[in-house]
Structure 1
Amino acid sequence: MNQRRVKNKWTVKYEEMSFPFIQKGWVLPSGKYEEFDPFIIMAEDWFKRGAFSDHPHRGFQTITYVVDGRLEHIDNSGNREILEPGDVQYMNAGSGARHAEEAVSDDIAHTLQLWLNLPREKKFSKPYYQNVYSEATPTIEIDRGFVKIFAGQFGDIIGPLQSMVPITIAEVNLEEGASYQHQLPVTHHAFVYVLSGELELGDEHTVLKKHDVATLTMTDQASLSLDNCSIVARSRRVKLLMYSGEPIKETIVPYGPFVMNSEEEIKDAYHDYRTGKFGPAAK
């Protein structure tokens, strides 16, 4: 198999926020959609209750990984769920979703939220939510570690997350000295975020530490279906998230809580929200 290597890497920078927000960092910063396609942005947030009360979305998907604390999801269809560390929530905003994401009680919620694009023909698809709980996520045991499969297929294991577009998401946990070859679809853009520890990534053994992000190269070997990405743990308790997705290759216009293909569609989204077409507030 072809071996992927690190294309670009950076360390997330954080800024203090005003209450009920506490701290924010951009794992995937805005303005680099072509490089990240189909991913748009990824934010790492620490917040108290009241930070992300009722708000709308249209034209994309969100994938929220709970790092610490408890996160309460509320939507205007009457759904109310609490997610804990290691849980993931998927939302297809599609034609229009209205929800709230709140810290529970006096908790400080610590989350990673990824915005995932929808192709033009699916931007008005029916909204839906899916919770993927840590204990119900398929796990692959490897030498001195384990891999949790949230989305995509890895051998005979298929992750439960049902995205509208082809993606893979895995949480990799390794002990010091462990070596692991992670497989990725050859046509996917991919990136890695390090949650803890220090590791070597890719065939050039690029060193990454906690809070580091890396995008990976792609291959032009069309005869292959999968690439390998080498991971070697240099410290104990290495934990990282690996994401990959099939590029959509469309021009997008992200503005506020909406991601559409034109400015006119953004104006329509605001009009529809203001005139009640997104439904009542999430309470």
Structure 2
Amino acid sequence: MDKQQERYIRDHWKVKYNKNGYPHVQQGWVLPPDRMSEYDPFILMADDWFKRGTFSDHPHRGFQTITYVIDGRLEHTDNNGGHSVLHAGDVQYMNAGSGARHAEEAVDDDLIHTLQLWLNLPKELKQTESSYQNVYVEDAPKVDIEGGYLRVYSGTVANTSGPMNSLVPINMVELYLKEGATYSLELPRNHNGHVYMLQGELEFAENVTLQKTEVGLLSYDKLADDKETDKLKITAHERSRVLIYTGKLIQEPVVARGPFVMNTEEEIKEAFNDFRLGKFGLSSQE
């Protein structure tokens, strides 16, 4: 494979954090919302430390969330009667669809640390029924590779499929490499995506080195066929962990206001009105 067909980091930055005080102790934008046009099919990604009371009962419509627990215990309740507690390495997938109402809380006096990624829905799926899926760390297949491992949460990577049932095709992988190890990760060529460093220092495609709390946007070819792939070469300068997310572009207008992501301003107004009229159901905490 020639150099032009290999993945590389097209932009990168270190996440800046705001110290908000109690209960939303600290927050940083991994993918700042003011650049969302660059992330399609993703919208934003937040890195949050919080205590109970930060993300109590609230609504969503028109997109999906993927929440990765870094540390602490995350309690989830929703107006469909769902309840669960997630721990480090666990992931929750939510399809807000036509209307979800839920709460994401720290358990007891925990300080919870999470990453939440917003994933868009195409217009024809924005009115689907809301749903939730927990992907526990032990249920995400672990693939041993030379000098490390892959944990596959979603999509098919290294001939291994993850258990997440996303409505749009995405890959979510955690990669661990020992110091000095190198791995070439095969990805769909027409997928946009990004990497986020959890630990250590990694060199990508021999052109960019990233450390903890740094993010890199991946190159892609939106005209490539769905079956075409390319590889992202990754080398560890020290023992490292990184999350890698990729997805096929939706290429539709995006209007995001508060907890709603739709295609037009009129649809956003309708979402706020429907919530005020009680069409999202009772509080998830009642």
What is the TM-score normalised by the length of structure 1? 0.97
User: Following the alignment from structure 1 to structure 2, what is the Cα–Cα distance between the partners of residues 220 and 94?
Assistant: 25
Structure 1 residue 19 corresponds to structure 2 residue 22: yes
SS in 2 for 1:21: coil
Structure 1 residue 140 corresponds to structure 2 residue 133: no
**Per-residue CA distance 1:69-91 (angstroms, 9 max, x = gap):** 11001101111100000000000
User: Following the alignment from structure 1 to structure 2, what is the Cα–Cα distance between the partners of residues 194 and 266?
Assistant: 34
CA contact (8 A) 2:190 2:223 kept: no
What is the TM-score normalised by the length of structure 2? 0.96
CA contact (8 A) 1:34 1:249 kept: no
* Residue in structure 1 matched with residue 48 of structure 2 by the alignment: 45
Structure 1 residue 172 corresponds to structure 2 residue 172: no
CA contact (8 A) 2:191 2:222 kept: no
* Residue in structure 1 matched with residue 187 of structure 2 by the alignment: 184
Q: How do 1:48-197 residues align onto structure 2 when only pairs under 5 Å count?
A: 48-197=51-200
- Structure 1 stretch displaced more, 16-25 or 211-220: 211-220
Structure 1, unaligned stretches of length 5 or more? Answer: none
Corresponding pairs, count: 281
- Structure 1 stretch displaced more, 206-215 or 150-159: 150-159
Partner amino acid for 2:55? F
User: Following the alignment from structure 1 to structure 2, what is the Cα–Cα distance between the partners of residues 157 and 175?
Assistant: 21
User: Following the alignment from structure 1 to structure 2, what is the Cα–Cα distance between the partners of residues 220 and 26?
Assistant: 25
SS in 2 for 1:135: helix
> How many percent identity over aligned positions?
53
User: Following the alignment from structure 2 to structure 1, what is the Cα–Cα distance between the partners of residues 142 and 84?
Assistant: 23
Q: RMSD between aligned alpha carbons?
A: 1.2
User: Following the alignment from structure 1 to structure 2, what is the Cα–Cα distance between the partners of residues 199 and 26?
Assistant: 21
* Residue in structure 1 matched with residue 276 of structure 2 by the alignment: 274
Structure 2, unaligned stretches of length 5 or more? Answer: none
Q: How do 1:235-246 residues align onto structure 2 when only pairs under 5 Å count?
A: 235-236=238-239, 238-246=240-248
How far does residue 221 in structure 1 lie from its aligned partner after superposition? 7.7
SS in 1 for 2:115: strand
CA contact (8 A) 2:120 2:261 kept: yes
